[in-house]
Structure 1
Amino acid sequence: MADPFLIGDAMSGGYGSGPDILHGCTIAVEKGQIAVIVGPNGAGKSTAMKAVFGMLNVRDGAVRLAGEDITGLTPQARVAKGMGFVPQTSNIFTSMTVEENLEMGAFLRRDDIMTTIEQVYDLFPILRNKRNQAAGELSGGQRQQVAVGRALMTQPKVLMLDEPTAGVSPIVMDELFDRIIEVARTGISILMVEQNARQALEIADKGYVLVQGRNAFAGTGQDLLADPEVRKSFLGG
């Protein structure tokens, strides 16, 4: 069996020399699909994503991208391999304009970036209108659009989003999810940690429920939404 396009395979590890937070955790996503990590607070959701991105020590297990073992690579090297990461907080330069934020996202590129900037503006039309405005003056949802747009400037093969809808209204959440679906349709894999579990699983090709750093449930988004145990324990019935 060939690996999925991106897999964090049986990962155990934690931060620095601290105790393990992940215990044999496996997270994977196929090309052009959306995989969602859900679970209670403190379950290790963001930790699992950071492990895949190289931000903590994976003591056991491996991370593979397109069949290549990248477990030993730095986050910067993973960006060069085609991984984009949007953290939950501090994910934009507030004093820079929207367009300057997008330009900063293309720091590794040596080609013409204007086509990609236009693609971001097509995806998030409000950003075109606010391209010369300081990003710190935008609403929470618009800031998230800038953060996602900046990550897309690296032309990633995988886009990783940590709580993209945290603190935004339900209307903005739905709009962000619609844009995330559009990104996946272009062939980019999406790996997402999300507190709004039910809504996230509705758009997910694959879902993972983590509990205490371990896989509790895995399946298609629809399978997990229909699972009585998942519904009772994690989706409010």
Structure 2
Amino acid sequence: MASEPFLIGDAMTGGYGPVDILHQCTIAVEKGQIAVIVGPNGAGKSTAMKAVFGMLKLRGGAVRLNGEDITKLSPQDRVAKGMAFVPQTHNIFTTMTVEENLEMGAFLRRDDIKTTIEQVYELFPILKTKRRQPAGELSGGQRQQVAVGRALMTQPSVLMLDEPTAGVSPIVMDELFDRIIEVARTGISILMVEQNARQALNIADKGYVLVQGRNAFTDTGEALMANPDVRRTFLGG
């Protein structure tokens, strides 16, 4: 039997109250790869991410990390297992400095965090320049860098990003995607929801197109970009 992906939300069914938003939805990512979830508004993309991270109780299906069933674990316990989640909004402490934000990311750690802070500054040099500045004074793109940097402070094996390029300029988006590729090259698995479907599929090893909480298309990013149905319906031709 082929080995299972490093992280998988397998045949997930669930939602809020009595209403199911996800219907037998499967999302997975391999070690050190980038998996992207795209689809129209209201397709259940963010809900699928929350389900994988334990913020949504499943009525069916399971979540497994490195072969271990973590379906019943709380988000905090999943962080301890090596998962990090960056929500789309409210993802930084605006009144704290950049460096204080990074230090807050390491709250579970009992070892020396200086090396990890330096690694974040290498990845995002602008943050080193602004490390004493309140994070709330930064531009949208820089705030996203702080949010991703803070998540990396936990030394995760999986980094989950919900709309990391929302509201940033195309130049900043390209730069963020470049950094995300760099993070994946270190062996961290990246699972992200992205509105900019074409650009996201360009960097994706695996892509998931969701429609109404169901898997509509699943393939490599390259294959989805080349699929005429996907192009016509989701990528504007």
TM-score by length of 1: 0.99
Partner of 1:55: 55
1:219 and 2:219 are equivalent in the alignment: yes
CA–CA separation in structure 1 for the residues paired with 2:56 and 2:222: 31
CA–CA separation in structure 2 for the residues paired with 1:30 and 1:65: 10
Q: Cα distance, 1:120 vs. partner?
A: 0.1
For each residue in 1:25-48, what CA deviation from the matched residue of structure 2 results, as whole angstroms up to 9, or x when unmatched?
Answer: 000000000000000000000000
For each residue in 1:121-149, what CA deviation from the matched residue of structure 2 results, as whole angstroms up to 9, or x when unmatched?
Answer: 00000000000000000000000000000
**Correspondence 1:162-201 to 2 at 5 A:** 162-201=162-201
State the secondary structure of the residue aligned to 1:20. Answer: strand
Partner of 1:210: 210
Partner of 2:24: 24
Q: Pairwise CA RMSD of aligned residues?
A: 0.4
Q: Cα distance, 1:3 vs. partner?
A: 1.0
Structure 1 segments unaligned to the other structure (5+ residues) = none
1:145 and 2:145 are equivalent in the alignment: yes
Paired letter, 2:86 = V
**Correspondence 1:76-91 to 2 at 5 A:** 76-91=76-91
Partner of 1:161: 161
1:124 and 2:124 are equivalent in the alignment: yes
Paired letter, 1:104 = M
CA–CA separation in structure 1 for the residues paired with 2:139 and 2:18: 37
Partner of 1:7: 8
Paired letter, 1:123 = L
CA–CA separation in structure 1 for the residues paired with 2:114 and 2:43: 40
Q: Cα distance, 1:2 vs. partner?
A: 1.5
Percent identity, please: 85
State the secondary structure of the residue aligned to 2:19. Answer: coil
1:104 and 2:129 are equivalent in the alignment: no
CA–CA separation in structure 2 for the residues paired with 1:7 and 1:56: 15
CA–CA separation in structure 2 for the residues paired with 1:92 and 1:68: 30
**Correspondence 1:26-45 to 2 at 5 A:** 26-45=26-45
Partner of 1:228: 228
CA–CA separation in structure 2 for the residues paired with 1:214 and 1:50: 15
State the secondary structure of the residue aligned to 1:218. Answer: strand
CA–CA separation in structure 2 for the residues paired with 1:55 and 1:28: 17
For each residue in 1:60-111, what CA deviation from the matched residue of structure 2 results, as whole angstroms up to 9, or x when unmatched?
Answer: 0000000000000000000000000000000000000000000000000000
State the secondary structure of the residue aligned to 2:167. Answer: coil
Q: Cα distance, 1:18 vs. partner?
A: 3.1
Partner of 2:92: 92
Kindly tell me the number of residue pairs found equivalent between the two proteins.
236
Runs of 4+ in structure 1 deviating by more than 3 angstroms, as ranges, are none
CA–CA separation in structure 1 for the residues paired with 2:55 and 2:4: 22
Q: Cα distance, 1:233 vs. partner?
A: 0.2
For each residue in 1:144-181, what CA deviation from the matched residue of structure 2 results, as whole angstroms up to 9, or x when unmatched?
Answer: 00000000000000000000000000000000000000
Paired letter, 1:51 = A
TM-score by length of 2: 0.99
